[in-house]
Amino acid sequence: MDKRKLSNMLLILTALIWGSAFVAQSIGMEYIGPFTFGAVRSILGGVTLLPVIFFRKKKSQANKGKAEPDEKKEKNEQRKTLLAGGICCGICLTIGSMAQQIGLQYTTAGKGGFITALYILIVPLLGLAFGRKAGKKVWCGVILAVVGMYFLCVKDGFSISKGDWIILAGSFAFAGHILVIDYFSPKVDGVCLSCLQFFICGMICAIPMLVSEQPTVNAVLVSWRPIVYAGVLSSGVGYTLQIIAQKNTDPTVASLLMSLESVFAVLAGWVILGERLSVREFVGCVLVFSAVILAQLPERKAVSSGNRTVSE
């Protein structure tokens, strides 16, 4: 299996993890505020990756031995790049996740899910600003996925509210997160980048948490199960898989694959919770799956797009 196919499979696995984590997020929010949940889960996600980084570093040092002066200089440059990437990723992740959480207080979950999923359209549009072009099949897949998300998420008509605008801002942040990862992931260690972004996100969320929510230790302990699930699996595993997988795939295709999160969330409710899947939701799922398949079909010629070649 080539690297691109493996990366795409990892992104689908990421979407599956995120989709199933919706239940944990919903339960956790019954006891604590959005900033508390975001801060604790993010810091837990970072802590989860520390042993992995430690043992990988120890193994690497044992294999390489003593570092040369040139290698030390290169490592210092990598640390600077890692720090810049971690800060950028952490800021985008914080804005996206918190805007989504706050916006959901003023709008429906269905509309919120659809607007969040618009990052699949925002990513290629922002990519154009940086000279990155997507092929025709990928664009068709993006449009098909947007229509599928509408059928899947929006059930009672569509009107713009205060919460919708807030969530839309979060969608731009998620799109920026994907593009920032696309830029930094080939340059640094993916696990370290993921770990650093969590600590940055946790520290940023901790400020409004302490100011406006003032959580108690008991409230956090009561919701420990959803926090652990969201922190370890959704954050620690899911976002790390995203960073590692994006090294070998186009950001627009990556956004399409990760949009399956909403589909898996609906399917999980159907299979696990026994929730009924309406005809409209079924059509939405089929359209999004079709979009993902279309975007990955072999192309006839290659088009240069800056640092990468995107099939067309």
Three-state DSSP class for 65? coil
CB 53 within 8 A of CB 192: yes
Chain mean position to CA 221? 26
pLDDT of residue 55: 85
pLDDT of residue 307: 47
If one counts every other C-beta atom within 10 angstroms of the C-beta of residue 246, the result is 28
Read off the pLDDT of residues 187-230 as tens digits, 9 standing for 90 and up: 999 899 999 999 999 999 999 999 888 888 888 888 888 888 88
pLDDT in tens, the chain (312 residues): 578 888 889 999 988 888 777 667 667 777 888 888 889 989 999 999 999 898 888 877 666 655 566 667 778 888 899 999 999 999 999 999 888 878 877 876 667 777 777 888 888 888 887 777 777 877 888 888 888 878 877 766 666 678 888 888 998 999 999 999 989 988 999 899 999 999 999 999 999 999 888 888 888 888 888 888 888 888 888 888 989 888 888 888 888 888 888 778 777 777 766 767 778 878 888 888 888 777 766 655 444 444 444 444
- Taking Cα atoms as reference points, which of 2, 294, 281 lies closest to residue 120? 294
DSSP bridge partners of 308:
305
Burial track 277-303 (b if 16+ CB lie within 10 A, e otherwise): eeeebeebbebbeebbebbbeeeeeee
pLDDT of residue 304: 45
Question: Which residue, chain included where needed, has tokens 């999004």?
Answer: 288
pTM, to two decimals? 0.80
Instruction: Give the whole-angstrom CA distance, residue 312 versus residue 293.
Output: 14
Q: What is each CA distance from 145 to 139, 225, 290, 294, in whole angstroms?
A: 10, 33, 8, 10
pLDDT of residue 292: 77
- Taking Cα atoms as reference points, which of 288, 310, 301 lies closest to residue 142? 288
In what helix (H) or strand (E) does residue 176 lie, and over which residues does it extend?
A: helix 162-184
Instruction: Give the whole-angstrom CA distance, residue 256 versus residue 226.
Output: 27
- Taking Cα atoms as reference points, which of 161, 166, 171, 162 lies closest to residue 114? 171
- Taking Cα atoms as reference points, which of 250, 247, 245 lies closest to residue 302? 250
In what helix (H) or strand (E) does residue 178 lie, and over which residues does it extend?
A: helix 162-184
Instruction: Give the whole-angstrom CA distance, residue 309 versus residue 290.
Output: 23
CB 145 within 8 A of CB 74: no
* DSSP labels, 204-259: HHHHHIIIII---HHHHHHTHHHHHIIIIIIIIIIIHHHHHHGGGS-HHHHHHHHT
CA quadruple 112, 211, 47, 64: dihedral sign: positive
Read off the pLDDT of residues 17-32 as tens digits, 9 standing for 90 and up: 887 776 676 677 778 8
